[in-house]
């Protein structure tokens, strides 16, 4: 009987023990901030490739036989996609301003980083598509 009581008591105490604590809003915001800044840094690594591809397509456009209108139009579209990705990244960097944490609740700070992360992920996809498409054009 005492063994059963001991096991029951042990189970009751174990049931009262809280599991791992959920991160606070402030901790979540700090994690998101680090994640967004890392995403920015990894996206920035592609800016040189974007510039090189843009310049390569510009050179191809100047050397291209003007009678091949379809190929010229395709190069212009691909070049435009590279320029648009570059412009989007430049705009994000110029308008980015980390908010004053003293003026925001932790929840608002999390919301800010959620929005920034979504914008950067969209920008990274745009840049990736532009680079992948430009890579399909031979030298």
pLDDT (tens digit per residue) in 65-114: 766 888 889 999 999 999 999 999 999 999 999 888 888 888 898 899 99
> Of 133, 126, 137, which Cα lies nearest the Cα of 43?
126
What pLDDT shows up at residue 20?
Answer: 66
Mean pLDDT (whole number) for 61-65: 81
Instruction: Please state the domain extents for the chain.
Output: 26-33+48-139
What pLDDT shows up at residue 6?
Answer: 52
pLDDT (tens digit per residue) in 40-56: 999 999 999 999 999 99
Q: Give residue 131's Cα distance to chain centre.
A: 16
φ, ψ of residue 98 to 5 degrees: the values are -70, 135
pLDDT band at 120 (very low <50, low <70, confident <90, very high): very high
Percent of the chain with pLDDT over 70: 83
The whole model's pTM is what?
A: 0.76
Residue 120, Cβ density class (10 Å: 0-12 exposed, 13-18 middle, ≥19 buried): buried
Q: Is the pLDDT of residue 4 over 80?
A: no
What pLDDT shows up at residue 13?
Answer: 53
């Amino acid at each position: 009987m005492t063994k059963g009581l001991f096991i029951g008591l042990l189970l009751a105490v174990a049931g009262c023990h809280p599991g791992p604590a959920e991160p606070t809003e402030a901790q979540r915001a700090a994690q998101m901030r680090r994640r967004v800044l890392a995403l920015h840094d990894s996206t920035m690594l592609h800016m040189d490739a974007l510039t090189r591809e843009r310049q390569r397509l510009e050179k191809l456009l100047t050397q291209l036989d003007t009678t091949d209108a379809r190929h010229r139009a395709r190069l212009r579209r691909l070049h435009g996609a590279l320029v648009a990705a570059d412009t989007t990244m430049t705009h994000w960097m110029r308008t980015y301003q980390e908010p004053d944490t003293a003026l925001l609740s932790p929840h608002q700070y999390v919301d800010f980083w959620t929005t920034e992360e979504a914008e950067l992920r969209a920008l990274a996809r745009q840049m990736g598509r532009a680079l992948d498409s430009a890579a399909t054009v031979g030298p």
